[in-house]
Amino acid sequence: MTAGAHGRRDRSGDEDLGGRLNQLRAGVLGANDGIVSTAGIVIGMAAATTRVPVILAAGLAGLAAGALSMASGEYVSVSTQRDTERALLEAEREQLARDPDAALDELTHEYVGKGLSESLARQVATELSAGDALAAHADAELHLDPDELTNPWQAAFASIVSFTIGGMLPLLAIILCPVEVRIPVTFGAVVLALVLTGWVSARLGHAPPGRATVRTVIGGALAMVTTYVLGRAFNV
């Protein structure tokens, strides 16, 4: 998952939908990582040996290591982001307690910046502050919902799941195929899967999908060709 997918949301339905699409896109990118790294390992191994248990052991070890590495990276990144968000919320809470008038001026200024007139902005800020003042400041100034900070465990678990789903594809392709066609079939299955992940993640990110798909496929193909050449070098 990408760090940009977390933490930023609003109470409106559109923003919630945007958040879910971001999470979906992060999942597709995680699957993409799982596909490419596992494909590289099993194709490299299949180039070096025809023994299925050896290929399977290497593929599973690579899949587990990759999924856990991605999950711990995600855990650290989301935890750090959540610490930052909590510190910012704490600063807002302190300011509200210490100097509510200055806080109200600040919130008014935010709404003037968004295009409201001075008097309407003051009225909006005053009414919002009469309710949950901290939530109003967090929303307008930090684009955060204090009750909806991203959970690092959830992010880590999501990376494990998406990476594993992606990695299973080349692993199954290589161990289920007969030895003569093992490498080309796996290569082809991975290219097709990368066309799908490249296309879907570009569409979810509102990018033109053609170029993104070509880049994704070229990246994966380079990884597989590289490990194939390395594996051949050890084939005796």
Point out which residues bind Zn ion (CB under 5 A). 92, 106, 137, 141
User: In this complex, which beta carbon is closest to Zn ion, that of residue 102 or of residue 176?
Assistant: 102
Residue 232 in contact with residue 48, Cβ under 8 Å?
A: yes
CB of 103 to Zn ion, least distance (A): 5
- Name residue, tokens 């684009």: 143
Q: Where are the alpha helices (DSSP H) in the chain?
A: 13-48, 52-98, 100-113, 118-130, 133-137, 152-176, 182-204, 209-233
Q: Which is nearer to Zn ion, 91 or 176 (CB)?
A: 91
CB closest to Zn ion, residue no: 137
User: Can you read off the two tokens belonging to residue 80?
Assistant: 């750090």
What stretches of 1-12 show up as alpha helix (H) in DSSP? Answer: none
Least distance in Å: CB of 81 to Zn ion? 20
Q: Which residue's CB is nearer to Zn ion, number 135 or number 177?
A: 135
Smallest separation, CB 95 to Zn ion (Å): 6
Quick one: how far is CA 118 from the chain centroid?
40
| Tokens, residue 93 | 């809470």
Provide the minimum distance between the beta carbon of 104 and Zn ion in the complex, in angstroms, as a whole number: 9
Q: Which is nearer to Zn ion, 43 or 138 (CB)?
A: 138
